[in-house]
Amino acid sequence: MYAIAFLDIHKERYPSLVSRFAENFVSDINIGLIVIDQSFHIVEISSLACKLLNVSKNEVVNKSIDEVFFDVPDEHRIVQRTLLNGITVKNQAIAWSSNQQKFDLLVDSNIIRDETGHIVGAYVIFKDVTNLRSLEQQVRQSDRLATIGQIAAGTAHEIRNPLTSIKGFLQILKTVLVKNQLNNEIEYTDIMLSEIERINKLVNEILLLSKPKDVIYQALDINTVLKQLYPIIQNEGLLHGIEVNYDLTESLPLVIADSELLKQVFLNVSKNGIEAMSEGGILNISTKIDEENKRVEIAIHDNGPGIPNYIADKIFEPFFTTKPTGTGLGLSICQKIIHDLGGSIRVSTKGFGTTFQISLPFH
């Protein structure tokens, strides 16, 4: 109100300044703005609105909203026809995509009246809150991981110690059963031992989520870390009839990290890739330098079936798994380790398989 009164008073004295301000405002402001007249035609549109809607200003000014949004169903339009009847919105969240990019928008709209109170048009203002939304999701995710970490630290050891003695005594029991050739009972103990192994695996993975005490951050050559891991990954591949290929870029800049934790990440992601493929698949591990963003990029590619769209944003959640004996912790551990280093881990899945792209900053 105050600003408008100010503009009114000064309009008389500085008419060109006011109109220039309005012009600059519309082109500079980091807000989507669309002004329409009472016949539902666009009168003014801000640069950001053009960008988000993927149109150019010249092509839409003086055009009717129906014409501009002809391919968008009515209820999904940013400018609603009911607006001119006085149905306004505040802070309405709208999901919008253009140019294959997804945006989260927060929309306000209202009508414009003349001095006599007649509706002469309306405006819609929207803000791109996509970053905010993904930030919120990240915070929620790391909150959950922190909680799991706390529970883990408190209970994992308490589970592991009794398990160790149960396992030890079972093994003794089994030798007695073997001696007496009690084949049925031997089979039961085998099942019990493999179930204990499963609990152990789960507890070990949970323990990794609570930060280990002896993390050693040092300058590392990622290629060296990967080379040390080669025999393990290759062996894992052999077990599944999978070929493992390395394609490393020489002389990588050094990255500050803990080598054991990084191995954990590369191994987890590689294992997932191997497990996703059937016999005869190829796992490709490559490194390269992104000079511009000062990052070392590690890509782990498999030619398995890919990750269906509807689960793609769940795979990093703790305990999400599609495997009968999976723990669903592998990728959430990887994500935590990589985020702690200021890096990122992304997945892209196309017709020809899945690529996990890990990017780590260097200085």
Ligand X SMILES: Nc1ncnc2c1ncn2[C@@H]1O[C@H](COP(=O)(O)OP(=O)(O)O)[C@@H](O)[C@H]1O
Give the footprint of ligand X on residues 133-162 (CB under 6 A).
none
Task: Return d(Cα 223, Cα 228) in angstroms, integer.
Answer: 9
Our finding on whether 322 is near ligand X (CB under 6 A) is: yes
Residue span 294-333 as binding mask against Mg ion, x where in contact by CB under 5 A, dash where not: ------------------------------------x---
Nearest to 84 by CA among 67, 68, 70, 64: 64
Q: Which amino acid is at 71?
A: D
* 258 secondary structure, DSSP code: -
Contact window for Mg ion (CB under 5 A) among 91-99, 121-129, 256-264, 269-277: 269-277
DSSP helix, strand, coil percent of the chain (3-state; round to 5): 50, 25, 25
User: Which two structure tokens, joined as six digits, stand for 96?
Assistant: 């919008």
Our finding on whether 330 is near ligand X (CB under 6 A) is: yes
Contact window for ligand X (CB under 6 A) among 117-125, 187-195, 253-261, 272-280: 272-280
Residue 20 or 323: the one with the smaller Cβ distance to ligand X is 323
The nearest distance, CB 321 to ligand X, in angstroms, is 3
Our finding on whether 278 is near ligand X (CB under 6 A) is: no
Which of Mg ion, ligand X, none does residue 321 bind to, with CB < 5 to 8 Å depending on kind?
Answer: ligand X
Task: Return d(Cα 294, Cα 309) in angstroms, integer.
Answer: 30
User: How many residues in the shown chain lie near ligand X by CB under 6 A?
Assistant: 19
The nearest distance, CB 284 to Mg ion, in angstroms, is 18
The nearest distance, CB 19 to ligand X, in angstroms, is 57
Q: What is the pairing mode between strands 255-257 and 119-128?
A: unpaired
Q: Rounded to the nearest 10 degrees, what angle do helices 183-209 and 330-340 cross at?
A: 20
Our finding on whether 281 is near ligand X (CB under 6 A) is: no
Of all helices (H) and strands (E), which one includes residue 170? helix 130-179
Residue 189 or 268: the one with the smaller Cβ distance to ligand X is 268
Q: Which amino acid is at 104?
A: D
Q: What are phi and psi of 220, to 5 degrees?
A: -125, 145
- The residue written with tokens 């490393």 in the block is 248
Our finding on whether 349 is near Mg ion (CB under 5 A) is: no
Our finding on whether 272 is near ligand X (CB under 6 A) is: yes
From 46, 109, 264, 272, residue interacting with Mg ion (rule: CB under 5 A): 272
Our finding on whether 80 is near Mg ion (CB under 5 A) is: no
Our finding on whether 343 is near ligand X (CB under 6 A) is: no
Task: Return d(Cα 310, Cα 349) in angstroms, integer.
Answer: 12
From 45, 331, 337, 345, residue interacting with ligand X (rule: CB under 6 A): 331
The nearest distance, CB 205 to Mg ion, in angstroms, is 9
Residue 40 or 320: the one with the smaller Cβ distance to ligand X is 320
From 40, 188, 246, 320, residue interacting with ligand X (rule: CB under 6 A): 320
Q: What is the pairing mode between strands 218-220 and 32-37?
A: unpaired
Contact window for ligand X (CB under 6 A) among 33-41, 120-128, 259-267, 318-326: 318-326
Task: Return d(Cα 334, Cα 316) in angstroms, integer.
Answer: 9
What is the distance of C-alpha 290 from the center of its chain?
20
Laid out side by side, the sheet with 282-290 consists of 243-247, 282-290, 295-302, 353-361, 344-350
Binding site for Mg ion (CB under 5 A): 272, 330
